[in-house]
Structure 1
Amino acid sequence: MGIKKSSNYLSPIARIFDKFSRQQDVSLIYGEPINFENRKVLPVAKINYIVGGGGGYSSETGNSLGAQGEGGGGHISVRPLGVYEIDAEKVKFKPIIDLKFTLTLVAVFTLGLVWLLKRAR
């Protein structure tokens, strides 16, 4: 005798996506404010995410059990951008310097300068 499954099947992946979609607010990008002396510091980040998934359910037929399937995957990346410094007089954004980007710019500029100097000779 087979086990009767509910027709209101909710995939575990659907529950994860549902929870993630409810959390899509500014708290994903702006962190909790940090009180420091007479000001607040508010961290800011850039968040990229890619998610995918599947699921399935087949109702019971005869004496056979219902079938189900699952699948999912994704990628989430968080990159800090900077902080907002808030005091009684002003709000100021202080960006975080991306070291890899800065080094890439310096390398490209240096190579371009060397190439121009060699060409000038």
Structure 2
Amino acid sequence: MVWMFAINEDKSIIHHKGDSGSMSNALWFEDVDGNKDSATNILNVPSSEKIMRTEHNAIPRVGVAMQVGCPTGRTYSAQDWWRTTYITEIVEKYNDEEDGRLNVIFKTRNSTYHWKE
């Protein structure tokens, strides 16, 4: 079970901006030749020439978008996962002293997130 929520500057959680569940995927685009696109030029590549790649059970890293939640909807009435934009910076990475779980604080273009496995 992982969780990921946006956080304020004081590291308090923004509860309506995130999710938790068994899914933690890294997502990125490659062109048809297998070259990874940077977040800055992805809009310039035609849809017919790019492929979305997914890494399951992923840990946040620069250059990918993270998707966390439940792969099969728990409610079937709404989206049951949260996806970020591309990660631009890893701010902090540490193991929790109490439970030993990995924590990663990272930035996207407009938000800061706290991800915990």
Give the number of the structure whose residues are more often helix, by fraction: 1
TM-score, normalised by the number of residues in structure 2: 0.23
Instruction: Determine which structure has greater relative contact order: mean sequence separation of CA pairs < 8 Å that are 6+ residues apart, divided by chain length.
Output: 2
Q: Which has the larger radius of gyration?
A: 1
Give the number of the structure whose residues are more often strand, by fraction: 2
TM-score, normalised by the number of residues in structure 1: 0.22
